[in-house]
Amino acid sequence: MFCREIRKVVPSDLNLGADNTLEAVAVHFTNKVVLKLRFNGELDTCYEILSKGLPAEGLGSTPLGKVVLNSGIGPEDEDFEDLSPIEDGLSNFHVTTRLGNSNDMKLPIVCTQIAEMYQKAVLPSNIDGLRDIAPSRDFVVSLSAKMWKRDTSETDFALLVFILQTIKEMYNS
């Protein structure tokens, strides 16, 4: 088991109010990573994010999560000559709502982005032998949906970037 945590003040330019804090705690087990993102100490939703299939490395075929565009018309179709794979990160994971509003489409995307960041930035870095201790690619993310429930969504992307940077900083400190 491996654990990391960080606590940061949420910047006022994210329009979440004054004196807000984000506390991130990650516990790595051999089969799952449990991540808690507390907004002012609150948690009210929980998602399970499972990796689909096998890792793409060394399979010898089109990696999972990549789609090859092909018109099916034939070689005379010039628009589809380049059959290079296009990565679709959202298709790499299956997100299940365990607690909270299952009709909210914003939070599963947030959780998918968190899982994608873990697979591309945190787990490959092998911080303190993390990949050897807890090699999991599956996640349980508990967070406060209050961060995302506002009248305006103009700062949602900035909030997502702040959360991803906070998680990455948690492993680098």
CB neighbours of residue 103 within 10 Å = 6
**2-57+88-172 has CATH 3.60.70.12 classification:** no
pLDDT at 88: 60
Region of 65 please: left (phi>0), alpha (psi -120 to 50) or beta: left
Region of 60 please: left (phi>0), alpha (psi -120 to 50) or beta: left
| Structure letter (DSSP) for residue 80 | G
Domain boundaries, the chain: 2-57+88-172
Q: What is the pLDDT of residues 2-20, one digit of tens each?
A: 899 999 999 988 888 888 9
User: Which residues in the chain come in under a pLDDT of 70?
Assistant: 53-90, 124, 126-136, 151-152
